[in-house]
Structure 1
Amino acid sequence: MTFDWIFLSAASSNTQRASCTHAAGPMELESQWWKGQLAGDIYHALRYKELKLPAYKGQSPQLSFRRYFADLIAIVSNRFRLCPTARHLAVYLLDLFMDRYDVSVQQLHLVALSCLLLASKFEEREDHVPKLESLNCLGCMTSMNLVLTKQSLLHMELLLLETFQWNLYLPTAAHFIEYYLSIAVHETDLHDGWPMANIEKTVQYMAKYADYFLEVSLQDHEFLKFAPSLVAAACVASSRVVLRLSPAWPSRLQRLTAYLWEHLAACVERLLVAHDGDVKEANKQKCQQQQKLQLASTVFHGSGTVSAVPQYLHRPTPQFSQQNCQPVQPSSLGASSYMPHTNLQAGTQPHGHLQPIPASLDAKVSIPFNRAYQVNGHYAGAAPCFDI
């Protein structure tokens, strides 16, 4: 009770200060608790609370559809610009509910969206919570012939609350990540063995890659085997590995997180394996796109001659349509234009469309890389084109 009281008091204090300084800018104090005087107390309260998280067994009969509904939550969450903690809490509620009940696939649509609404009510301000009318107007809802009603949502929300005994104070990796990122980069760090030339740029890339790995952890229920704080620490460690910062896990992060590299190794390797798969898929799609552009750049006439097509005739690759909930098409993103994993609107799946329960959804992210790194001397993958 002491830790819960500390957390709630700190959150209340930050909220009050945020309301007093709302006009100061878009960043509100209540969303930056890790910068406040009570950051340490709130962090320890979260660590204490994660010790009491419900057990997850991974025994749902619909477990094969779990990835699909996690992507659905990501789509709707991005459409309404909900915070990462709301999205991660929603997926966690869905995982726990599916683990306890045998629910039909059609009903899981209602469950997933109800989880997102509950999570947004718990994590977001009231004016950010999606409204029923807005949900029903989404293109992905109409394409699946889904119509939510107030009665069905209230009934499902009540069932969810009763399932979790009215306790939504469930820490996820997203609740820890910013606290760890606050010291993830330091001027004493080395990049490829040399002092960093631009620490501000390094901090920006660290945040982007941490967001990417954080979203990777949502894609696979196997990450629920690890404590949320450990997953968050592993996301930071993986980002440091990819960005070639040394040491990979400095002593300051060991002290802050209370995790040694040995504790993180299994989770880090799983994250980097997923990252390596994303890189290979991105390179494959990039090659395919270049081949299509080469074929489209020439026109064959009946006489057998070949003439170049003017560049203004080439239309850009269509981007994500929020109304239709279609994914971003893969693009060749350079180091200066890299988009974090969370910004890909369709659950970060450039070649998968959200259709009514496909056989499998293999979500990938388009990131160009060209160097190699190693973890513990036995994992090799692609590292970023990152010049600091």
Structure 2
Amino acid sequence: MLEESVWMAEELKLPMYKAHSPQIGMRRYFIDLLTVLSNHCNLCPMARHLAIYLLDLFMDRYDITVKQLHITSFACLLLASKFEEKEDKVPKLEHLNNLAYMCNVNVVLNKKDLLRTEMLLLENFNWNLYLPTPAHYIDYYLYVSIGENDLHNGWPITSLTKIKDFLEKYAYYFLDFSVQDHTFLHFRPSLIAAACVCASRICMQISPAWTTQLELLTCYSWEHLAQCIEMMLM
């Protein structure tokens, strides 16, 4: 609970995303690239989402070449993995170059360029990577995502564990879906995570769609979440 409270306090300090990048049309490609890279490196969702968020903020402020964007993407992945993962999970240079080749990225990474780009990123973020993303909240919210009084298709739930496992898969689907469209960046990360849980309950026909317990935990009412949920379910 304390950690989540700290994250929510940090949310208020997040820089405003303006969607001003002249290369915003390439954003989807780079998000997909980071997703593939993080999956091959077996990075946790928090590292993956932080890497994407770092790239989004950087692209929003600077106009750089496509080659530099590729290097920056790898640097974001490295920084995020160093921040969120144990040391032995941080990708090595050789592995990153192998992945770049596999993904048809026409860039050969070297330690000097990566280090320089990492330093540039750190300076750009004032050496603060304590930036909450929806992935930092999702497990906390999933803890109370299903209650004993919930109904599934109008009937009492016979196996809370089974339903909760299915709902978790839905929630992580919506979590990854939310990074595909930059307009989600106009919502608070905690709100997106809450919307992921609510959208999952709707898809699984669990009623009510949003409970008092979830509202108390997340501090979001149905009215707060409605627009974000609508975007997820379009």
Structure 2 Cα separation of the partners of residues 78 and 144 of structure 1 = 16
Distance 1:136 1:190, change over 3 A: same
1:65-84 → structure 2 map (5 Å cutoff): 65-84=26-45
Give the equivalent residue in structure 1 for 2:159.
198
Offset, 1:177:
0.4
Offset, 1:140:
4.0
Structure 2 Cα separation of the partners of residues 222 and 99 of structure 1 = 13
Is this contact kept in 2: 1:135–1:141, CA < 8 A? no
Q: Which among 218, 225, 244 is matched to residue 205 of structure 2? A: 244
> Is 1:176 the equivalent of 2:137?
yes
TM-score, length-scaled by structure 2: 0.98
> Is 1:125 the equivalent of 2:86?
yes
> Is 1:46 the equivalent of 2:4?
no
Structure 1 Cα separation of the partners of residues 103 and 44 of structure 2 = 25
Offset, 1:183:
0.3
**Identity fraction in percent:** 57
Offset, 1:106:
2.0
TM-score, length-scaled by structure 1: 0.59
Offset, 1:142:
6.8
Per-residue Cα deviation, 1:91-142 (whole angstroms, up to 9, x for no partner): 0000000000001122111011100100000000000000001111226457
> Is 1:153 the equivalent of 2:114?
yes
Offset, 1:245:
0.3
Is this contact kept in 2: 1:206–1:240, CA < 8 A? yes
1:14-33 → structure 2 map (5 Å cutoff): none
Per-residue Cα deviation, 1:358-387 (whole angstroms, up to 9, x for no partner): xxxxxxxxxxxxxxxxxxxxxxxxxxxxxx
1:86-105 → structure 2 map (5 Å cutoff): 86-105=47-66
Bigger relative contact order, structure 1 or 2, given CA contacts below 8 A and separation 6+?
2
Q: Which runs of 4+ in 1 moved over 3 A?
A: 139-142
Q: Which among 162, 174, 191 is matched to residue 213 of structure 1? A: 174
Is this contact kept in 1: 2:192–2:228, CA < 8 A? yes
Is this contact kept in 1: 2:100–2:106, CA < 8 A? no
Offset, 1:143:
2.7
Is this contact kept in 2: 1:141–1:147, CA < 8 A? no
Per-residue Cα deviation, 1:202-251 (whole angstroms, up to 9, x for no partner): 01001100000000001111000000000000000000000000000000
Per-residue Cα deviation, 1:301-327 (whole angstroms, up to 9, x for no partner): xxxxxxxxxxxxxxxxxxxxxxxxxxx
Structure 2 Cα separation of the partners of residues 51 and 109 of structure 1 = 30
Structure 1 Cα separation of the partners of residues 174 and 201 of structure 2 = 11
Structure 1 Cα separation of the partners of residues 209 and 101 of structure 2 = 41
Offset, 1:146:
1.8
Structure 1 Cα separation of the partners of residues 100 and 220 of structure 2 = 44
What 5-or-longer segments of structure 1 have no aligned partner? 1-39, 274-388
1:256-271 → structure 2 map (5 Å cutoff): 256-271=217-232
Structure 2 Cα separation of the partners of residues 139 and 49 of structure 1 = 33
Is this contact kept in 2: 1:60–1:100, CA < 8 A? yes
What 5-or-longer segments of structure 2 have no aligned partner? none
Per-residue Cα deviation, 1:138-179 (whole angstroms, up to 9, x for no partner): 264573332100000000000000000000000000000000
Measured on the aligned residues, the alpha-carbon RMSD in Å equals: 1.0
Give the equivalent residue in structure 2 for 1:319.
none
Larger of the two Rg values belongs to structure: 1
- How many residue pairs match? The answer is 234
Is this contact kept in 2: 1:136–1:142, CA < 8 A? no
Q: Which structure shows the bigger proportion of residues in helix conformation? A: 2
Structure 2 Cα separation of the partners of residues 127 and 250 of structure 1 = 40
> Is 1:55 the equivalent of 2:8?
no
Partner of 1:112: helix, strand, or coil?
helix
